[in-house]
Structure 1
Amino acid sequence: MTTIKYPDGPFSGRPLLALLAVMALMLAAANLRGGLVVVGPLVQEIRDALQISSSGFSMLTTLPLICFGGMSICVPWLTRRCAPQFLAISGLLVISIGAGLRVTESYALVIAGTLLLGLAIALLNVLIPGLVKAFFPRKMGMMTGLYSVTLSLGAGLGVYLAVPLMNHFGSWRYPMVLWALFPLVSLLFWLPMLKAKGVGRPQNPVKVSLWRDGLAWSITFYMGLQSFFFYSMATWLPKMLIDTGLDAGQAGNATAMINLVSIPFNLFVPILAARMGSQRPLAVAIFLLSVIGLGGLWWDAAATPWLWASLIGAGGGGALSLALSFFVLRASNTAQATALSAMAQSIGYLLAAVGPFLLGMLKDLSGTWQLALLLLMMMQLIQFGCGWHAARAINVVPDQDKAGSALQKLKSPNR
C-alpha cells in the first residue's frame, strides 16, 4: 500500500478543539437519516392522524430524495458566500424546524416540514465530505469511516426507537419530537467550529466546475448506482422474500442484516482507501460481494436469505463508503471536494428515486422478481466499471484549470 502525506489540519496541537470537531461531525451525521426514516414504522398511526392515503403518505419518503437531488447542486454556490461551519449550523436549525413541523395535524405543514428537512439534509450531505477534508486532512479515511458508520447508526436508531417510544409515551408524535430536539443538542458542538482557522469563507472564492471531467462523472455514476442499489433493496427485499414463502418476521430479520453487516464495511473501507494509491482492489471486492448476493436471490432466495442479505449489505455498505471516500481522495482542496460531492449527490439521489419504481414496474410486467434482479446485476457491472475508473490515483481537474492548461500549451514556444 502507498501512504499519502497530507498537510496539518486547523486543529493541529489543539486536542480539545479536535475532539469537539469529531463530535460535531458525528452528531451532524446522526441527524441526516433518523428524522426521515422514523415515519416508516409509524405509517398507520400517521395516516390515521392526518387522514391521508397511501400515495399521500409516500410523499413523506419520496419528497426528501427529490430535495437531495435539487438542493445538492446549489451547495457550492452557498459555500462561496458563507463559511461552511455557518452553513452546517444553519442546516441543523432547519432540520429541527422541519422535523418539528412534521408533528402537527396539518398535512400541508407536514409536507412543508418534509421539504425543509430534505433541503437541510441535502445541504449537510454535500458539506460534510468537504469539512472532513478541511478539518482532518491526515485522518480522512478514519473520519469518513466514522461518518459513514454514524450515518447508518442514525438511520437504525430512527427505525428501532420509533415504536418503543410511541408505546411508552402513548403517541406517534414523541419519536418525531426526538429528531426535532436532537439537532439543537448537536449545535452545542458546532458553535466552537466557527473559530477553526482556514476553514471559513474563502477570500477570493472561485467557482469550481467539474461537469466536463471524466473522473468526476465516474464518481458521480458510482455514487448514483450504489444509491439506486441500496434504495431498491431497502424497498423491495422484504417483499421478494415474502413472495418466496417466508413470513413477515423472517423477511424482516433477513433484511435487517443489510444494515447490520454494512457497519464494519462503513468503517474500514474508507480507512483502507485512504492508505491505498489505487482503490481498485476495493472496487473488485465490493462488486463480487454485491453480485454474489444478488445471484443468490435470483437462484434461490429462500435457501439462505440471511446470507444473501448479508452479502448485499457488505457490498452496499462498502460501495457507499468508497463513494464518500472518492469525494475527499480525488479532490485537491475543500472547494473541489464540495463541488464533487454536490455533483455526485445531485445526480445520485435522482437515480436513487428511480430505482424502487423501476423494480416495481418490472415485477408488475413480468409477475416475478427475476427481471428486476437481472437489472440490478447489470447495474452492478456498470457501477464496477465506474468504480474501476474512479479508483485511479489521480485528482479531478476543474474546467477552469483545463482551460488554463490548454492556453499554456498554445503559448508554449515548443509548439
Structure 2
Amino acid sequence: MTTNTPTSPFAGRPVIALLAIAALMLAAANLRGGLVVVGPLVMEIRAALDISASAFSLLTTLPLICFGVMSICVPWFTRRWAPQWIAIVGLMVISLGVGLRLVDNYPLVIVGTLLLGSAIAVLNVLIPGLVKAFFPNSVGLMTGLYSVTLSLGAGLGVYLAIPLLEQFDNWRVPVAMWAIFPLFCLLFWLPMVRVKGVGRPANPVRISLWKDKIAWSITLYMGLQSFYFYSVATWLPKILIENGLDAHQAGTATALINLVSIPFNLIVPILAAKMTNQRVLVFGTFVVSFTGIVGLWWQPDAAPLLWASFIGMGCGSSLSLALSFFVLRANNTAQATALSAMAQSIGYLLAALGPVSLGLLRDINGHWQWALLLMLALQFGQVAAGWSAARAINVVPDQDRTSA
C-alpha cells in the first residue's frame, strides 16, 4: 500500500473539512435516487407516456450502459478541468436529466435518461479519487460513509416514491425532488473550487492501467459484484413470487437487502484500510453471498428473509471492498481516478448483462434453477478476482513499466 501518505488540504481547517465531507456525501446521495425513483412509479409513468413495458425498461437499463461508456472518459476530463468543477457540472446535468424525465414526451425522457446516466457515471468515478485527495489519512472511514450514503440515497428514492405520490396525487412530485436536490448540493460544492492542491494537474499525464494485473483483478471484482447485485435486485421479487410468496413478502425481502447492507457499507472499508491485505474480507464476503444464493436455489420459500439478509451482507461488503480497492491500490488521486474509470467502465457493462442473462435462462428452462447456478458459479470467479486484488500491491501505470 502507499508508503508516503500526503497531508489533507484541510489540515487545521475543521470547518472547511466538514463542508467537504458534506459536499462528498450529498453528491453520493444523488447517484442513485433519480434512477431508482421510477421503479415504484412504473404504472403512473407508463400511463402518462403511453409506452409499453419494454419501452419503460429503457429508463432503467440505459443508465447502466451509460455507466460503462462514460466512466472511461473521466480521466480525460480530469486532465483538462479541476475535479471540483467536473463535480459541479455533473450535479447540474443530473438535475437537467431528471427534469427532462418529467415531461410527457418519450424521446425527451430518453434524452434525460442518457444525461442522467452519463452524469452519474462521471461522479461514480470521480468521487473515490476526491476522497483520496481530500482525506488521504481517513480513506477507510470516508469510503465507508460514501458507500452508506450511496445506499441511503437509493433507499430514499424507493421508499419516498409512493408516500409522495399518495400525498400529492402526482407521480412527478417524487421525481422532481431528485431534480431539485442536486442544485441544493451546489451550495456545498462551490466553496470546494478554492481548495488548493486538488485542481487540474499542472502537467497532466494520461495514466493507463490496462497492462496491470491488479487493475484487472479489481475490474473483474467490480464487474462480478455489480452483476450479482443488479441481477438479484431485478429478479428476486419474481423468484420469490413464483415460489409461493405474495407480493408483500417478496417486496419486504427485497427491501431487506438494502437495509442489511448499510452497516457493512460502513464497517468493511474501515477494516480494509487497517489491514495489510483484505483477503479475510474477500473470503467472508464470498461465504455470505454464496450462502444467500444457495438458499434461494435450494428452498427459496423456507427462509426468504434469511436468504435476503445474507445477500444484503454480501452486496454491501463487496461494493464497499470494490470502492476501497480504488483508493487503497492507487498511489495518488490520478491513479485512483484511472483505476475507478477502468473498473467501472467494464464493470457496469458486465453488470448490464446480468438481468438479461438470468431472464434468458429463466425463459429457456421455465424455472430459476439454472440462473441461480450461474450466479453460484460466478461467485467463484468473484472470490478469485478479489483474492488477487486484496494483495498489498499497488497498481503500476503502463508508462512506468520497464521493458524486459
Report the TM range for the smaller structure's normalisation: over 0.9
Tell me if 1:327 matches 2:326: yes
CA shift digits 1:178-232 (9 cap, x unpaired) = 0000000000000111111110000000000000111100000000000000000
Paired position in structure 1 for 2:291: 292
Partner of 2:314: 315
For the pair 1:66 / 2:65, whether they are aligned, the reply is: yes
Query: For residues 36 and 294 of structure 1, what CA distance do their matches in structure 2 show?
Result: 26
* Counterparts of 2:178 and 2:241, CA distance in 1: 31
Q: How far off is 1:6 after superposition?
A: 2.4
CA contact (8 A) 2:75 2:337 kept: yes
Alignment check: 8 A CA contact 1:92 1:120 kept: yes
With over 3 angstroms needed to count, the CA separation of the structure-2 counterparts of 1:394 and 1:112, relative to structure 1, is: same
* Equivalent AA in structure 1 for residue 270 of structure 2: I
Q: How does 1:112-123 map to 2 (within 5 A)?
A: 112-123=111-122
User: Structure 2: how far apart are the matches of 1:205 and 1:7?
Assistant: 19
Q: TM-score, normalised by structure 1?
A: 0.96
Q: What's the CA shift for 1:109?
A: 1.0
Provide the rounded CA distance (Å) in 2 between the counterparts of 1:285 and 1:91.
35
Runs of 4+ more than 3 Å apart: 2-5
Confirm whether residue 209 of structure 1 aligns to residue 181 of structure 2: no
Amino acid corresponding to residue 301 of structure 1 in structure 2:
P
Q: Quick one: which amino acid aligns to residue 175 of structure 2?
A: M
Look up the match of 1:301: 300
2:138 corresponding residue in structure 1: 139
SS of corresponding position for 2:40: helix
1:264-275 superposed matches below 5 A: 264-275=263-274
Kindly, what percent of the aligned residue pairs are identical? 71
Q: Match for residue 353 of structure 1? A: 352
Aligned amino acid, residue 82 of structure 1: W
Unmatched tracts of structure 2, length 5 or more: none
How far the C-alpha of 1:170 sits from its partner, in A, is 1.5
**Structure with max Cα Rg:** 1
Query: What number of residue pairs does the alignment pair up?
Result: 404
CA apart distance, 1:7? 2.4
C-alpha distance in structure 2 between counterparts of 1:317 and 1:147, whole Å? 12
Deviation at 1:358, TM superposition (A): 0.4
How far residue 368 of structure 1 moved from its aligned partner, in angstroms, is 1.3
Deviations 1:293-332 (A, max 9, x none): 1111111111111000100110111000000000000000
| Long gaps (5+) in structure 1 | 410-415
Aligned to 1:125: 124
- Answer whether contact 2:2 2:330 (CA < 8 A) is retained: no
Q: Secondary structure at 2:205's aligned position in 1? A: coil
CA–CA distance in structure 1, aligned partners of residues 137 and 303 of structure 2: 42
Q: Is the contact made by 1:4 and 1:277 (CA closer than 8 Å) also made in structure 2? A: no
Q: Could you tell me the TM-score, scaled by structure 2's length?
A: 0.99
RMSD, aligned CA: 1.1
What is the rounded CA distance, in whole Å, between the counterparts of 2:375 and 2:260 in structure 1?
A: 20
What letter matches 2:295 in structure 1? G
Deviates more, 1:293-302 or 1:279-288: 293-302
What SS is found at the alignment partner of 1:317?
helix
Cα distance in structure 2, aligned partners of 1:327 and 1:220: 10
Structure 1 residue aligned with 2:39: 40
Q: Which one-letter code corresponds to 1:41 in the other structure? A: P
CA distance in 1, matches of 2:288, 2:49: 42
**For the structure 1 residues 4 and 143, does the alpha-carbon distance in structure 2 shift closer, same or farther, using more than 3 Å as the test?**
farther
The 1-side partners of 2:142 and 2:158 are apart by 24
